Structure 1
Amino acid sequence: MIDVNGIQLHIAEQGSGPLVVLLHGFPESWHSWHQQFGPLAEAGFRVVAPDQRGYGRSDHPDDVGAYTILHLVGDVVALIRALGEDKAFVVGHDWGAPVAWHTALLRPDMVLGVAGLSVPPPFRGTQPPLATMDKRFDGRFYWNYFNRPGAADAEFAKDVRTTLRKFFYAASGDAATDGEIMQPLVNPGQGWLETMPDPDVLPEWFTEADLDALTESFSQGFTGPLNWYRNLDRNWELTAAWHNAVITRPALYVYGDRDLVPAFPGTPELIEKLPHLMPSLWREPVKLAGCGHWTQQERPNEVNAALIEFLQAHS
Structure 2
Amino acid sequence: MKSNRLQQLFIPVLAVLLGMIAGSIVMLASGYNPIAGFSALVYGAFGDTYYIGETIRQTTPYILTGLAVAFAFRTGLFNIGVEGQLIVGWLAAVWVGVSFDLPKIVHLPLAILAAAAAGALWGLLPGVLKAYLKVHEVIITIMMNYIALHVTNAIIRSVLSDEGFKSDPVKPSASLQSEFFGAITHHSTMHYGIFIAIAAAFIMWFLLERTTKGFELRAVGFNQHASQYAGMNVRANIILAMVISGAFAGVAGAMEGLGTFGNISTKAGFTGLGFDGIAVALIGGNNAFGILLSALLFGALKVGALEMPSSAGVPTELVDIIIALIIFFVASSYMIRWLLSRGQKGAE
Tell me the TM-score range normalised by the shorter chain: under 0.3
Q: Which has the larger radius of gyration?
A: 2
Bigger fraction of residues in helix: 2
Q: TM-score, normalised by structure 2?
A: 0.23
Query: Which is bigger in relative contact order (C-alpha 8 A, separation at least 6)?
Result: 2
Q: TM-score, normalised by structure 1?
A: 0.25
